[in-house]
Structure 1
Amino acid sequence: MGLVGTLKTIRNEFLRRVIYRRYQIGPGFYSGIRVRIWARQKIQIGCNFYIGRDSFIESDVTIGDNVIWANRVALVGRYDHHYQQIGVPVRLASQIRDADYNWLGLNSMTIIGSDVWVGYGSTILSGVTIGDGSIIAAGSVVTKDVEAYSIYGGVPAKKIRDRFNSKDDLQKHLTALQLFPQK
């Protein structure tokens, strides 16, 4: 590892252990520039998570191991602002970051499995589950749960196909993953 690689490793460990110390983030964390991570209650990220530049996590989430987010991926809350607050413009309504916020979305947990790839510019709404081994196509908006080992795309995201061409290929992949070295 050269000087640049060493500096990147130091930066990512600083982010993981100091800036984001409030959250549980496993080893092998990599963050592009201008990434923002915030949750009201919980962020738990497994090993070897890569989050590309200009990406955001702004909701409670559990993320598995070996997950990659391309640039400009966003996880956002469905109910970050109390848009039904009578007599209050949305801009001034209470929001989930307020200590006394008591509307929808408080217990909305997003779950992203292991071995997931989320493509460039995708948006994930809080409260969904993205199954292990799935791929989210670039530019997609995920509003509902995603089946494991599937490829989803579009607005809103829908299943395009299975990730592997056959159940035999999927089984070979799962077997090979058991031999994959873990950090």
Structure 2
Amino acid sequence: MEYNDRQIELKYQRLFNANFPKVKNFAKMLLKSEADAEDVAQDIFCKLWQQPAIWLDNERELDSYLFIMTRNAVLNIFKHQQVEHEYQESIFEKTLLEELTENEDALKNIYYNEMLLVVRLTLEKLPERRRMIFELNRFQGISYKEIADRLGISIRTVEHQVYLVLIELKKVLLFAFFLLPFK
């Protein structure tokens, strides 16, 4: 069936009015955020507007299509958040290691040795398995995957254990830094 522009607009308006609240509520249930749910619903209806062939003569099957689109949009948000989180963790780790190593030139005196002693003591007080995972990765250069395979644990567990050690080291080193006398 052929539609003119006005008919398309009216049909879209009915589609929008009937389904926008359902799509938004479904997205909100998954995302737990009103603003994010609103964005998802708007994105979905923008895509629909650009592809009228999907909805013009297909109203009966549109409900499941809308919910699949919503679910996929939410999954994409979750994937993006995971990528951001992993990137932030890697930047944090890289920054910490750079901070630890770049200060080597400035601390070629006794304070440098004291810092190393603090790191060694901190590592000794960690649970044995966590320390072992950290040392395998950071001191022996073994990848997360290889460590996970060796120990029969997930890569995510290895990542988390290394992350926990880096957090502990950062806390201890910051504390030790404030105890050092300034010249």
TM-score, normalization: structure 2? Answer: 0.23
More helix by proportion, 1 or 2? 2
More strand by proportion, 1 or 2? 1
| Pair member with larger Rg | 2
